[in-house]
Amino acid sequence: MTQQFYVSPEQLMKDRADFARKGIARGRSVMVLSCRDGIALVAENPSPSLHKIGEIYDRIAFAAVGKYNEFESLRQAGVRYADVRGYSYDRDDVTARGLASVYAQSLGTVFTADSKPFEVELAVAEVGLRQSDDHLYRLTFDGSIADEPDFVVMGGQTEALTESLRSNWDAGHDFAGVIRAAVSSLEGSAGNAGENGSASRRLGPDQLEVAVLERDPESSRGSRRAFRRLSAAEMTEILGK
Amino acid sequence: MNLPAGGHNSIFSQISHAATSSFSEYLARSAPDMLPGARTAGMPSGMAAEAVAPHATTIVAMTYAGGVLMAGDRRATMGNMIASRHIEKVFPADMYSVLGIAGTAGIALDVTRLFQVELEHYEKIEGTLLSLEGKANRLGAMIRGNLPMALQGLAVIPLFAGFDLDRRVGRLFSYDVTGGRYEEQEHHSVGSGSVFARGALKKLWKPNLDEAQAVLVSVEALYDAADDDSATGGPDVVRQLWPVVYTVNAAGARRIPERDLAAAAEAVIASRAVAGREA
């Protein structure tokens, strides 16, 4: 039997946090942005089928960075949570706050109790009837939860992207405007650090995964489901390439 | 069968067992008491179920050029009494399908709600729509789950219609209480007034009706059902209540607006009044 060495709790938590942070920073960025028309979710994702953005419920969407198998299982759990809740109470009783706190609890439990923390960072977005009612929650690998105003940036070079979005983003933007702002920030971030260092690259529709939560889907599409993926054709039109 | 990752108790089989795309399967595992068929509370035998629970009645459905249409009257009965004049019995199941229900209203509404969540759940988990056949089979499984209740007199009989995105045609499916699924051609009807509605459909339905004609035919078939079946409600001009009609075509499911139905109902009533004959 091998001898167990003593590791202080501070050191243990720090090691786990460093491990998770490293995994998350390796990935490409995802942004969730509130605007006049609703909430836009923009991800740099070359795969057309392995999504980083997903629909949870009528007015709630999910975005994630990190390990695909881990956030995919969290997404499916979220869909199940929301559908069971909506089925047993009412569709209006499913809120992003409730879902975010369930995510926070599971992430927190896994971080402290499991052999390995989840290497993921999540955003849960709920579109309101007015822009002031929009909710963006950011959830990190250790179960911390934050209610963020305006926009959330996750994965990759978060700080540089947040800086550049501060100047590009505007609350009065429509979907096209806010998506252009997000894409130009992504292009400006020059991909992963050290990758030939050259500034701006171009991101086409085939490298982007974009979806929106419409503020009033009942009148625009006759549906109560606000979530809609933008097709490559729509993205080409928005980006004007 | 020997899976590469091991036998029946391997991690792989545990994971694949937990990961279901079916909402009703998930519910059966995690909260079985929430399923409509799970309430097998024994009824005193010999008690007439239809005397204690509201009963929903006639539904008609037909194909027309480019899609399918489904219509239901607005009456629910309890024995010889009218339980509701406003009940709606035709619902959109998802973007490309609708279902109508006849039988015990409470259970039927629960089955409808479960079916709607089932389809949406699959779509969200898998990122793609179920095929029309797949949807029809899921509904059959739910009706089969209700078989113990049906044998106690609380049966639910749905009618399912949708647009098949692969074949680009509208299709109709009927069911029996055991969940048996039968594809119907041209038109079909279920519920207490279905005999009369079916007779009317046989005379009124023609191939390649356009949408407006199909709406008129459905309203007239329900009118005939209401004429001879006391449990089916006719158009109510006093309260301005008209049948609920949905069409499904390549563009999706659409509810026919009240004013179109009012016009159709008034046209049927006027043509019958002008003829001045006994039915």
Mean pLDDT for all residues in chain B: 87
> Tens of pLDDT along A84-133?
999 999 999 999 999 999 999 999 999 988 888 899 999 999 999 999 99
Residues of B in contact with A225 (CB under 8 A): 120
Report the distance separating Cα B164 and Cα B249, nearest Å.
9
C-beta pairs of B39-46 under 8 Å, 24+ apart in sequence? B39/B149, B40/B148, B40/B149, B43/B152, B43/B153, B43/B154
Instruction: Identify the weakest region by mean pLDDT among A9-18, A134-143, B183-192.
Output: A9-18
Distance CA A192, CA B52 (A): 69
Calpha distance B94→B112 (Å, rounded): 11
Q: Do A79 and B124 touch (CB under 8 A)?
A: yes
Q: What is the CATH number of the domain that holds A196?
A: 3.60.20.10
Estimate to the nearest angstrom the gap between the alpha carbon of A52 and the chain centroid: 8
Of B40, B57, B77, B178, the catalytic one is B57
Chain B partners of A80 at a C-beta cutoff of 8 Å? 23, 26, 121
Banded pLDDT at B4 (limits 50, 70, 90)? very low
Q: What is the pLDDT of residues B140-164, one digit of tens each?
A: 999 998 888 888 888 899 999 999 9
Residue with tokens 């490298």: A207
Nearest CA among B62, B275, B67, B256 for reference residue B168: B67
Nearest to A84 among B19, B27, B124 (CB): B27
Please give, rounded to a whole number of angstroms, the shortest distance from the CA of A121 to a CA of chain B. Answer: 20
The whole-model pTM stands at 0.89
Judged against a pLDDT cut of 50, whether residue A5 lies above it is answered with: yes
pLDDT score, position B145: 87
pLDDT at B1: 41
Over residues B80-91, the pLDDT tens digits come to: 888 899 999 999
d(CA B20, CA A191): 37
At A209 the pLDDT is 92
Chain B, nearest residue to A78 by Cα: B125
- Mean pLDDT of chain A, nearest integer: 88
How confident is the model over B33-58, as a mean pLDDT?
Answer: 70
**Average pLDDT score over residue span B61-88:** 92
Inter-chain touch B125–A51, beta carbons under 8 Å = no
Whether B247 is a known active-site residue: answer no
- By Cβ distance, the residue of B19, B121, B127 closest to A83 is B121
Tell me if A210 is assigned to some domain.
Answer: yes
Q: Considering the domain boundaries, does residue A106 fall inside one?
A: yes
Are residues B174 and B143 in contact, defined by beta-carbon separation less than 8 angstroms? no
What is the structure's pLDDT at A193? 45
The domain ranges of chain B are 44-271
Q: Which CATH superfamily is domain B44-271 in?
A: Aminohydrolase, N-terminal nucleophile (Ntn) domain (3.60.20.10)
> Is the residue at A202 inside a domain?
yes
CA distance A55 to chain B (A): 6
pLDDT at B41: 55
Q: Which domain holds residue A196?
A: 27-239
How far apart CA B178 and CA B200 sit, in angstroms, is 28
| A96 inside domain | yes
Tell me which of A47-51, A78-82, B222-226 is least confident: A47-51
pLDDT of residue B2: 43
Is residue A188 very low, low, confident or very high in pLDDT (cuts 50, 70, 90)? confident
Mean pLDDT of B5-28: 70
- pLDDT confidence of B46, banded at 50, 70, 90? low
Question: Does any CB of chain B come closer than 8 Å to the CB of residue A87?
Answer: yes
Question: B23 and A55: CB-CB below 8 Å?
Answer: no
Backbone angles phi, psi at B177, to 5 degrees: -65, -20
- Contact at 8 Å (CB) between A102 and A7? no
| Residue A8 forms part of a structural domain | no
| Residue B51 reports pLDDT greater than 90 | no
Residue A75 domain flag:
yes
Query: What was the pLDDT predicted at A201?
Result: 78
Tens digit of pLDDT for each residue in B91-133?
999 999 999 999 888 889 999 999 999 999 999 999 889 999 9
Residue A198 has pLDDT above 70, yes or no: no
Burial of B271 (C-beta count, 10 Å sphere; 0-12/13-18/19+)? exposed
**pLDDT over 70, % of chain B:** 88
Q: How many domains does chain A have?
A: 1
CB B30 within 8 A of CB B24: no
Name which of A51, A83, A223 is nearest B23 (Cβ-Cβ): A83
State both tokens at A67: 């390990």
Radius of gyration from C-alpha coordinates of chain A: 18
Residue with the larger pLDDT of the pair B55 and A93: A93
Give contacts of B120 with chain A, Cβ < 8 Å.
83, 225
pLDDT digits (tens, 9 = 90+) for A23-36: 888 888 999 999 99
Closest by CA to B261, choosing from B57, B56, B74, is B74
pLDDT value at B210 more than 90:
yes
Does residue B3 register a pLDDT over 70?
no
What is the model's pLDDT at position B249? 93
CB contact under 8 A, A87 and B124: no
Higher confidence at residue B57 or residue B173? B173
Give the pLDDT band of residue A196 (cuts 50, 70, 90). Answer: very low
Task: Say yes or no: A79 contacts chain B, CB-CB below 8 A.
Answer: yes
* Minimum CA–CA partner of B22 in chain A: A80
pLDDT at B18: 66
